[in-house]
Every structure is written in structure tokens, then in C-alpha cells.
Amino acid sequence: MRIAVGADHAGFPMKKVVIRIVEAAGHQTLDLGTHDEQPVDYPDYALAVGRAIQRGEADRGILLCGSGVGVCVAANKLRGIRAGVCHDTYSAHQAVEHDDLNVLCLGPRVVGPALIEELVIAFVAARFDDREQYARRLAKVAAMEAEG
């Protein structure tokens, strides 16, 4: 799987750790910045990761900002992006399995490195369960998105 990774300055310190975890799990990464701790705007990185998924350059994405909330709000503005903030391992895999989450949003100011590792592993290992009830619900979400 190809995973696009993006972070603002608050998420930057954990971005390299996330990339290492994803690659250790056997996946490819696409580092979309930021590349240092100079202040930047989180929507730019949410857009970069979302566009990579929309263009087929990545299958999923991981975004980091201080709380994970800002990048989540921004990423969800993009058609076809289903982003969620996850601070527990159950949500990190269940959101993929039931909701076809394609962008994991993390807040390194909220959760520490050990939990971030567990969250990333749970997210990349999970697969969408296409049973009828999950597919039906996802189709309703897609219809809402199309209606604007």
C-alpha cells in the first residue's frame, strides 16, 4: 500500500517516526512535508495528502498536527476523503473496517510516540469490510458528499 504522510510544524517531529513505522510494516510512503519546524499552515498539508489520494498516487494518508483536529477538518473538505482523528487503537482499525477511513489524523501533542506507533500499525493493517450494512452506509455518506 502507498501511504502519503503530511504534517504541519507541530506534527513534524513525529512525521519521521510515522514514516519509519509505515515502511517497517512493508508499505511505501510519500513524504509531502513539512520538512522542518518553521511555522506553516496545516490546511496545505491536508490538501497535499488528500490530492495524492484523489489522484491515485496514494491509497491512504496520515496527517499530523498538534491535536490532529485541524488537519482532519481540512482533509474532510475534499471529495472522497474520509479522515478521522484517532487516539485509541480500536478507532484506528474500526474506522477503516466499517467506515472506509482513508486518512488517519494524529495529534502528537495529545498522544505520545508509543501510542502513535500502535495507531499507525492498526490503521495500515485494517481493511474495509464490504458487508452490505457497511457498504450501504458508505454509499449514504457518498450521496451526502455529492449533494454538498
Q: Which residue numbers are catalytic?
A: 65, 98
Which residue(s) pair with 5 in the sheet? 31, 62
131 within 8 A of 125, measured Cβ to Cβ: no
Preceding peptide of 34 cis, ω within 30°: yes
Q: How far is CA 13 from CA 51, 65, 107, 109, 133, in A?
A: 23, 10, 11, 11, 39
103 within 8 A of 95, measured Cβ to Cβ: no
Can you read off the three cell numbers belonging to residue 143? 450521496
3-state secondary structure of 46: helix
